[in-house]
Amino acid sequence: MKVSAIRILFVCGLFAYLYYGFDGALPQDARRFSPVRGRSDLFSGNIQYKLNSWVTFAIEQGYYGTRAANRSASDIGGLPLFRGIPSYTSHNLRSEFAAIFTF
């Protein structure tokens, strides 16, 4: 997996992180492990606010996407049907809020 990250420092204890990564498996690895997943992407952003030396609040938004390695509709084990139509991509949006306590 290849990952790129950027950290941005704001004033008043705010930090922002941006991440992008992708996992591009070799074709023989994808066929051996699972016949349908060819490449997955991750894009994530995180903002943190440090209240004091013990408490930090964070919110994160992430997007995960997967594309099928084989677009043949006749393959067994393809991605799930969406409204009765074969799908070739899937995605997941994820939001997370955290309170981080440092001792």
pLDDT averaged per 10 residues, the chain (length 103): 66 80 64 57 87 91 78 57 69 90 90
| Residues 83, 76: Cα–Cα separation, whole Å | 18
Residue 2 host element (H or E): strand 2-9
Residue 7 host element (H or E): strand 2-9
Rounded to two decimals, what is the model's pTM?
A: 0.60
pLDDT at 38: 61
pLDDT at 97: 95
pLDDT at 53: 86
Domain boundaries, the chain: 2-101
pLDDT at 14: 84
pLDDT at 35: 47
| Residues 49, 59: Cα–Cα separation, whole Å | 9
pLDDT at 29: 58
pLDDT at 30: 53
